[in-house]
A and B are shown apart, each in its own frame.
Chain A
């Protein structure tokens, strides 16, 4: 069955399904349920749904209490608030004791294009990645969102999952088995490795096509598990290429690019360029593509970066 192409809708539908399968699943919301789609869970399981009002800090620590009596809480807000507003609560009450809590950072990156800087998360991955015990996930599409969320019942410790507000193209191979930490090859190539997460995977595939037109062969990987980074698989993924471009809808400081470079430390590898938000905040835009273009998060930008690296590595 083809899933709903909208990632947040798929998130809500899958949460509902998890709720049906496991009665310990509970959901907490900070009055953004219509956006995060946690309302779908609310309608089905009103007793297991806790509307906490616009109070993210209390929501996070309340989830800790629920986990301590055996529940599996999913907490919801926009990525920018889920990670930023309740950081100390996530750190102290959840990450230190490594509680099984799932943090949905919805409307991530620039996907809330209209609302501007205050509502666009450019730093959530960096924040969440810095917390010991925290797993950080960024699905590429609705197919992967479902597969990923099905792992969230058993996966130990806290998880941050970055959910896009938009309809995204189906890229995850439907029959491909999934596990957290898997690095998924979407396109074979020999000259360049394009690594990406979330919406930037489709841009990387576009870049691979542009590069092919120039006679450059690019392999493309979906790095949907940002933490723990699968170091072994990553090192293998970039073997033999002459350039590596990591693309993310996030600040280039502390995000996927940082995670990749940390993982490649101490092993010889091709030069790396990072495509992402260049250490600045967002802006209001009339549509998603427009804002991604404004910040250089495009296929041509990725292809250009790869070409630049190849020029350097030839010398």
Chain B
């Protein structure tokens, strides 16, 4: 099933809106994981607003698909999606990561509606996804479990323990996504600890591997659909992305892994997003005419 133009345009607009929300949560003078959040905006938009079975009126619906953010420090982008769905009140955005706000620095299921687990200590999300997948399958549920990992996070040995086990258990109800943005906390992943041949590694561990441009809505939707139809083994999408995407000063810049926006940078970021919105609207208008 190929998504129509209207759907693609909707998801492009939403991805941009998520970046606006992200900026609002970042605010001025607060540290936040801008880079790795914005690299996932299109992926998160596709999952929450098109692919996942998810009823925002009932975020605890047992029939929902599960979304787990193994790279939990980038939860701001998930909060953005949950705000747009109405699961989290919009007024929380400005209060993110302040005392008694429901938006914690890392995903915390007991604090935030729509959060499915506690993640953030890296390398654990895929294991949690596996447990959910095994439990759901045991009860005959057909829900899927989606889990997003970072490329730097792949240094954690537990990821590969889980990869091995998920393949051994033929957990074809898991879709893994690697947000391959090439930069981790203190520099380029290649320089910190090079992890070559990521796709081959997953293949060798028994996974179906799909490689895409992680900012291209059409490619993301196609890969998610393909992953869903893989039988007898789990699938992972290696999504090539740009850390800090959409914010020129933060793109490919490790300083904005967990950075602080000055008043000037905040204004710049806002006007850049506005320019992107204008460009997007005019492109969409052209697409509608043609």
Residues of A within 8 A of B (CB): 26, 47-48, 50, 52-53, 55, 57-58, 60-71, 73, 88-89, 91-93, 96-98
CA distance A93 to B68 in the complex (A): 12
Q: Is the CB of A55 within 8 A of B165?
A: yes
Contact of A63 among B131, B161, B169 (CB under 8 A): B131
Q: Which residue of the partner chain A has the closest CB to B130?
A: A62
**B132, CB-defined interface residue at 8 Å:** yes
**B138, CB-defined interface residue at 8 Å:** yes
A65 surroundings in chain B (CB, below 8 A): 117, 127-135
A26 surroundings in chain B (CB, below 8 A): 135, 138
Q: When A63-B131, A67-B131 are in contact, do A58 and B161 touch as well, CB less than 8 Å?
A: yes
Q: Is the CB of B121 within 8 A of A92?
A: yes
Q: When A55-B164, A89-B158 are in contact, do A66 and B120 touch as well, CB less than 8 Å?
A: no
Q: Is the CB of A69 within 8 A of B136?
A: yes
Q: Is the CB of A68 within 8 A of B138?
A: no
**B287, CB-defined interface residue at 8 Å:** no
**B255, CB-defined interface residue at 8 Å:** no
Q: Is the CB of B120 within 8 A of A92?
A: yes
> Contact flags (1/0) for B157-190 with A, using CB distance below 8 Å?
1100110110011000000000000000000000
Q: Which residue of the partner chain B has the closest CB to A101?
A: B131
CA distance A55 to B158 in the complex (A): 8
Main secondary structure of the interface of A (DSSP, over half): helix
Of the listed stretches B39-47, B77-85, B108-116, B197-205, chain A binds B108-116
Q: Is the CB of A57 within 8 A of B158?
A: yes
Q: Which residue of the partner chain B has the closest CB to A98?
A: B110
A71 surroundings in chain B (CB, below 8 A): 135, 138
CA distance A291 to B68 in the complex (A): 47
A88 surroundings in chain B (CB, below 8 A): 121, 124
CA distance A93 to B169 in the complex (A): 21
Q: Is the CB of A97 within 8 A of B127?
A: no
CA distance A115 to B134 in the complex (A): 34
Q: When A52-B165, A53-B165, A68-B117 are in contact, do A61 and B128 touch as well, CB less than 8 Å?
A: yes
Contact of B161 among A48, A50, A57 (CB under 8 A): A57
B157 surroundings in chain A (CB, below 8 A): 57
**B87, CB-defined interface residue at 8 Å:** no
Interface size on B, residues (CB 8 A): 32
Contact of B124 among A53, A67, A93 (CB under 8 A): A93
Taking the closest CB of chain A, its distance from the CB of B162, in whole angstroms, is 5
A57 surroundings in chain B (CB, below 8 A): 123-124, 127, 157-158, 161
CA distance A69 to B132 in the complex (A): 6
Q: Is the CB of B128 within 8 A of A93?
A: yes
A52 surroundings in chain B (CB, below 8 A): 165
Q: Is the CB of B164 within 8 A of A68?
A: no
> Can you list 18 A-B pairs, Cβ within 8 angstroms, ordered by A?
A50-B134, A53-B168, A55-B161, A57-B127, A57-B158, A57-B161, A61-B158, A62-B130, A62-B134, A64-B124, A65-B128, A65-B132, A68-B128, A92-B124, A93-B128, A96-B108, A97-B110, A97-B118
CA distance A61 to B162 in the complex (A): 9
A89 surroundings in chain B (CB, below 8 A): 124, 127, 158
Q: When A48-B138, A93-B128 are in contact, do A62 and B120 touch as well, CB less than 8 Å?
A: no
Q: Is the CB of A66 within 8 A of B132?
A: yes
A67 surroundings in chain B (CB, below 8 A): 131
B134 surroundings in chain A (CB, below 8 A): 50, 62, 65-66
**B4, CB-defined interface residue at 8 Å:** no
**B139, CB-defined interface residue at 8 Å:** yes
Taking the closest CB of chain A, its distance from the CB of B263, in whole angstroms, is 35
CA distance A26 to B169 in the complex (A): 15
A58 surroundings in chain B (CB, below 8 A): 127, 130, 158, 161-162, 165
Taking the closest CB of chain B, its distance from the CB of A187, in whole angstroms, is 44
A98 surroundings in chain B (CB, below 8 A): 110
Given contacts A64-B131, A65-B130, A93-B121, 10 further A-B contacts (CB under 8 A): A50-B134, A55-B161, A57-B123, A57-B161, A58-B162, A62-B130, A65-B117, A88-B124, A89-B158, A93-B118
Q: Which residue of the partner chain A has the closest CB to B115?
A: A97
CA distance A91 to B161 in the complex (A): 18
Q: Is the CB of B128 within 8 A of A97?
A: no
Q: Which residue of the partner chain A has the closest CB to B117?
A: A68
A91 surroundings in chain B (CB, below 8 A): 121
Taking the closest CB of chain B, its distance from the CB of A138, in whole angstroms, is 27
Q: Which residue of the partner chain A has the closest CB to B125?
A: A61
Q: Is the CB of A69 within 8 A of B121?
A: no
Taking the closest CB of chain B, its distance from the CB of A128, in whole angstroms, is 18
B139 surroundings in chain A (CB, below 8 A): 69-70
Q: Which residue of the partner chain B has the closest CB to A62?
A: B131
B129 surroundings in chain A (CB, below 8 A): 65
Q: Is the CB of A64 within 8 A of B127?
A: yes
Q: Is the CB of B131 within 8 A of A68?
A: yes
Taking the closest CB of chain A, its distance from the CB of B277, in whole angstroms, is 37
- Greatest chain A CB density within 10 A among B108, B109, B132, B133 is at B132
B138 surroundings in chain A (CB, below 8 A): 26, 47-48, 71
